[in-house]
Chains A and B, each alone.
Chain A
Amino acid sequence: MNFPLSMTYWSHFVSVAMFALGLLGFLLRKNTIVVLMCIELMLNAVNLLLIETSMRTNTPEGIILVVFVVTVAAAEVAVGLGIVLNLYRMKGTVNLDHFKSLQG
């Protein structure tokens, strides 16, 4: 009982590409703020996929989940920026390479 995937197959590529962009940014960039933005980009790629599926299959769960994801993303950024701000106060930088005192 698969849904007609072939019809909407290409729309998945947009969200997968967005997700991959965010993933690359997350792994490669050194600025903590940019890394946080990349996490947001990945979350929005997921939202796109969820909305697309929700419209295609005519089920409400996807859109409900999107609302929750947006809310949680806001909370996550609040926590993340708080942590980054605290580190910036101590070290005067947000570059990930400068946060290395814990390795051993």
Chain B
Amino acid sequence: MSLLDLFLIPVSPVASFVIAGLLLIVLQCIRSPKLKGITKIVALLGPLGSLLATWNLFKSQPLAYSLVTAGSYEAWLNEFILSYHLDSTTMIWYWAIGAIASISFIFVEAYFKDLEELPEILILLEFIAAAMMLLVSANNLLMVFMALELMSLPTYVLVGVEREKHFGAEASLKYFLFGSFATVLLLFSIALLYAYTGTLQFSQISNFLMVPVGGTNPAGIMVMAASALFIIAVGFKLGLAPFHMWLPDAYEGAATPITGFMGSAIKLAGFGMALRLWWGMLAPISAHWVAILGSLSVVTMFVGNLGALRQRNLKRLFAYSSISHAGYLVLGLISISKTGTQLDTQNLFYYLVVYGFMFLGVFGILGLIEKQTGSTDISTFEGIGFSHPLLGACLAILVLSAAGIPPTAGFLGKYLLFADAVRTGHVWLVVLAVLSSVIGVFYYLRVLVALYMTEPSQRIILSSQSRIVVWSVIACAFCMIFFSFFPQRLGI
């Protein structure tokens, strides 16, 4: 196999984002008014090129890549092959990240149309997207650390990008402090595992952990501490209760399309990382973390759903809703089973993608309304179903999907996750999860009531809706119906 097959084609989806980001930096340095229009198009080349590259990767039989053994190549190529995990599952993640990133780019470009810093925002988004792809295919703790930081640091900046707003600045400080705390904890657990095993490779660490560890000897304490710190660090990053306190504030304070991106794409990549860390590396000691994650998932669901009940600001309401969805996703994460050496991640992935498009679509609509009225309070949405039937219907479909009402993909996703969990013996967790989603239906219905059953206090007219934004929102809502009837399109 040549360098092209071993290196250039596997990294092409990542490279597409990086190249687009670098191009944008160059364009930004030229500072010619004529290039203003080109910026937006170049920015979209990143995600679109990445989707194309992923398709090309699919086509060229990449399954062989995970079977390539390092050996007779140059040293750097050997290291790369060892630390880059690429199989058919990873490529579905690439596809999802590319699709969600392209829709986010459209929302961001429309929302920040008049902001002078738009090119900088787009540059940061390109690099975040590249880091997310590296994160889901990491096979080495060094790669995990670098990708996670490349993803997090620009996000802290993006949350506070509207510099003159108090909320945004405070939200970014909060997100920064909790995020860097999580990074430090992750790094400490990496160091502990390294001190025990002397390697950073997932497969080699796994091999070490095959030997039973435990007890009060230093090695046992080190592995237990590392495993606990991983749970806390990833819990902070994913916003699992009790490590969720930053999440509603950060999601409310950030600009609406940025929140949409954080809630969908970064959650997706975070769960990709969790999957690699726990099932790729710590699988031999699964007895130590499955029970802890299971109880965390139930706590997270209830905290999210109960917290959302008393919210009147839709941005905050959906922030809490995303906490509860993280709870369901963790339940899916611990009930993954193995056929042979292959992990059955399709159901988890299905729920993640459906949740991602749901969150993105909702925040697309919130962004449109907020741009016009300056508020995302639930009273702003009263009567939207009549004054803007199309947007109202889209929001209704997305909210129904979030609640898990049958004809939508949200229902099928929940059903598949819960079926998986029952199959792996987490019956009580499923009972509690169903209970908590019943609580959830209540606040989702409140949004529907506001849309269709309340007389508006004043009628808002959305004057200048960007057509491409409306089409993207429709696409998100369409996904909710389409994937419900054709789940096999997502690899089920």
Contacts and interface: CB of A to CB of B under 8 A. Distances in A.
Do A and B associate with each other? yes
B184 interface: yes
Interface string B117-148: 00000000000000000000000011001100
Interface string A58-93: 010110110011001001100110111011001100
A45 to B, nearest CB: 7
Interface stretch (B37-45, B165-173, B387-395, B466-474): B165-173
A44 B195 CA distance: 15
Nearest to B167: A102
Interface in A25-62: 26, 32, 35, 39, 42-43, 45-46, 49-50, 52-53, 57, 59, 61-62
A2 B218 CA distance: 11
A19 B167 CA distance: 32
B191 interface: yes
A79 B142 contact: no
A49 B142 CA distance: 15
Contacts of B194: 49-50, 53, 61-62, 65
Contacts of B253: 102
Interface residues of A, number: 47
Given A46-B191, A76-B153, A80-B180, A87 B145 contact: no
Nearest to B208: A1
Contacts, number: 113
Contacts of B173: 32, 83-84, 87, 99
Contacts of B219: 2, 5
B160 interface: yes
B184 A49 contact: no
Q: Find the residue from B176, B192, B249 having the highest chain A CB count within 10 A.
A: B176
B163 interface: yes
Contact of B184 (A39, A62, A83, A104): A39
A6 B252 CA distance: 50
Contact of A49 (B153, B169, B195): B195
Contacts of B316: 104
B481 interface: no
Contacts of B183: 76
Contacts of A39: 180-181, 184
B169 A87 contact: yes
A13 to B, nearest CB: 11
A82 B208 CA distance: 42
Contacts of A64: 142
Contact of A50 (B176, B191, B249): B191
B375 interface: no
25 contacts: A2-B196, A3-B198, A19-B188, A35-B177, A46-B188, A46-B190, A49-B188, A49-B192, A49-B194, A50-B191, A53-B195, A59-B199, A65-B142, A68-B142, A69-B145, A72-B153, A75-B149, A75-B153, A82-B157, A84-B173, A90-B169, A101-B170, A102-B170, A102-B174, A104-B316
